Amino acid sequence: MTDAILTQRLTKYYGRRPVVHALDLRVPPGAIYGFLGRNGAGKSTTLKMLTGMVRPDSGRAFLLGEPVEQLRPETRAKIAYLAEGHPLYRWMSVAEAVRFARPFYASWNQPLVDQILDHFELPRRTKIRRLSGGQRAQLSLALAVAPDPELLILDDPTLGLDTVVRREFLESLIQVIQRRGRTILFSSHILGDVERVADRIGVLVDGVLRVDCPTDHFKEAVRKVVLEFNRVPPEFPGCAGLVSSRQVGVSLELVVVDFGDGQRQVCESLEPRSIDVMELNLEDAFIEYTRGPRSVPLFTPAEQRHAEGIGVQGAA
List residues binding another protein (CB under 8 A): 44-45, 48, 51-55, 73-74, 76-77, 79, 81, 83, 85, 87-91, 99-105
Quote the least distance from Cβ 295 to another protein, whole Å.
31
Please give the helix or strand (H or E) that residue 113 lies within, else none.
helix 110-119
Nearest to another protein of 106, 248 (CB atom): 106
Nearest to 288 by CA among 223, 231, 206: 223
Quote the least distance from Cβ 188 to another protein, whole Å.
18
DSSP state of 158: T
Nearest to another protein of 87, 292 (CB atom): 87
Whether residue 201 contacts residue 34, with contact meaning beta carbons closer than 8 Å, is answered with: yes
* C-alpha to C-alpha distance for 118 and 172, rounded to whole angstroms: 12
Nearest to another protein of 68, 213 (CB atom): 68
Q: Beta-carbon neighbour count of residue 114 at 10 Å?
A: 14
Nearest to another protein of 51, 263 (CB atom): 51
* C-alpha to C-alpha distance for 35 and 197, rounded to whole angstroms: 12
Nearest to another protein of 91, 238 (CB atom): 91
Is residue 1 packed enough to be buried (19+ CB in 10 Å), middle (13-18) or exposed (0-12)? exposed
Quote the least distance from Cβ 77 to another protein, whole Å.
4
* C-alpha to C-alpha distance for 172 and 28, rounded to whole angstroms: 22
Nearest to another protein of 83, 177 (CB atom): 83
Quote the least distance from Cβ 199 to another protein, whole Å.
25
* C-alpha to C-alpha distance for 275 and 215, rounded to whole angstroms: 26
79-82 and 26-27 beta bridge pairing:
unpaired
Quote the least distance from Cβ 16 to another protein, whole Å.
16
Give Dmax over CA atoms of the chain in angstroms: 72
Quote the least distance from Cβ 204 to another protein, whole Å.
16
* C-alpha to C-alpha distance for 267 and 310, rounded to whole angstroms: 20
Nearest to another protein of 79, 255 (CB atom): 79
Quote the least distance from Cβ 71 to another protein, whole Å.
9
